[in-house]
């Protein structure tokens, strides 16, 4: 499912006769790591630092986006979710479901954010449903709907940090006297 510049490969496999997949990372020299054992999972992407993202099942009826680093899995959200992409800064994109599905950005400093709320200026005709990739320039690709029709999207955030985006959103929020 993914490979980084250091030839670390990630994906999923079916151990033994199991019908449940396990997420893995392996190196070209044969080093193999089962990332989600004994739980099921899918590794989707890996960055230069060897951080791996994907989805796993902490319980029988749940699936959660995860970040694996330093030999440990971290849940990125309490919602049903999947992580699909990670950049060098450790920012993760994917999709989650609360009431409806939405594309998300998870940032190590700010946590989980619905991408629909980060579009400046707001674009009410768009509903971003699934983010699939993010690069070092914070450009995000994925799928969403525009006026009810499914389309691919590119969010272009070149030169903008998450802190700047959150600051802009706070400036645009109505004050207590305006509510």
Over the stretch 34-91, which tens digit does the pLDDT of each residue have? 998 888 999 999 999 999 999 999 888 899 999 999 999 999 999 999 999 999 999 9
Instruction: Give the Cα separation of 14 and 123 in Å (integer).
Output: 42
Over the stretch 128-177, which tens digit does the pLDDT of each residue have? 999 999 998 888 999 999 999 999 999 886 456 666 665 555 444 444 44
Q: What is the per-residue pLDDT for 9?
A: 95
Q: What is the per-residue pLDDT for 179?
A: 37
Given a cut of 80, whether residue 106 has pLDDT beyond it is yes
Q: What is the per-residue pLDDT for 82?
A: 97
Structure tokens that stand for 100 in this block: 């409806």
Write down the domain spans for the chain: 1-75, 87-179
* Mean pLDDT on 11-30: 86
Instruction: Give the Cα separation of 38 and 106 in Å (integer).
Output: 25
Given a cut of 60, whether residue 96 has pLDDT beyond it is yes
Structure tokens that stand for 38 in this block: 């004994």
Instruction: Give the Cα separation of 140 and 85 in Å (integer).
Output: 9
> Which residue would you say has higher pLDDT here, 120 or 170?
120
* H-type alpha helices, the chain: 162-172
Instruction: Give the Cα separation of 74 and 66 in Å (integer).
Output: 5
* Mean pLDDT on 24-36: 88
Q: What is the per-residue pLDDT for 156?
A: 82
Q: Is the pTM of this model over 0.75?
A: yes
Given a cut of 80, whether residue 17 has pLDDT beyond it is no
Given a cut of 70, whether residue 120 has pLDDT beyond it is yes
Q: Where are the extended beta strands (E) located within the chain? A: 2-3, 8-13, 22-27, 32-34, 41-46, 52-56, 64-69, 72-75, 80-86, 92-97, 101-107, 111-114, 126-134, 140-146, 149-155
Give the three-state DSSP class for 65: strand
Gyration radius (Cα) of the chain, Å: 17
Q: What is the per-residue pLDDT for 25?
A: 94
Instruction: Give the Cα separation of 57 and 134 in Å (integer).
Output: 24
């Amino acid at each position: 499912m993914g490979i980084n510049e250091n030839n670390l490969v990630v994906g999923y496999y079916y151990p033994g006769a199991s019908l449940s997949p396990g997420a893995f990372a392996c190196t070209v020299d044969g080093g193999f790591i089962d990332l989600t054992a004994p739980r099921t999972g899918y590794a989707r992407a890996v960055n230069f630092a060897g951080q791996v993202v994907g989805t796993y099942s902490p319980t029988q009826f749940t699936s959660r986006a995860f970040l694996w680093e330093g030999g440990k899995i971290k849940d990125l959200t309490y919602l049903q979710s999947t992580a699909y992409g990670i950049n060098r800064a450790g920012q993760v994109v994917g999709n989650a479901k609360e009431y409806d599905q939405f594309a998300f950005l998870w940032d190590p400093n700010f946590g989980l954010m619905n991408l629909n709320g980060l579009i400046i200026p707001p674009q009410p005709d768009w509903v971003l449903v699934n983010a699939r990739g993010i690069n070092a320039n914070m450009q995000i690709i994925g799928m969403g709907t525009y006026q009810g029709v499914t389309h691919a999207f590119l969010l272009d955030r070149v030169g903008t940090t998450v802190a700047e985006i959150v600051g802009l959103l706070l400036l645009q929020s109505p004050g207590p006297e305006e509510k």
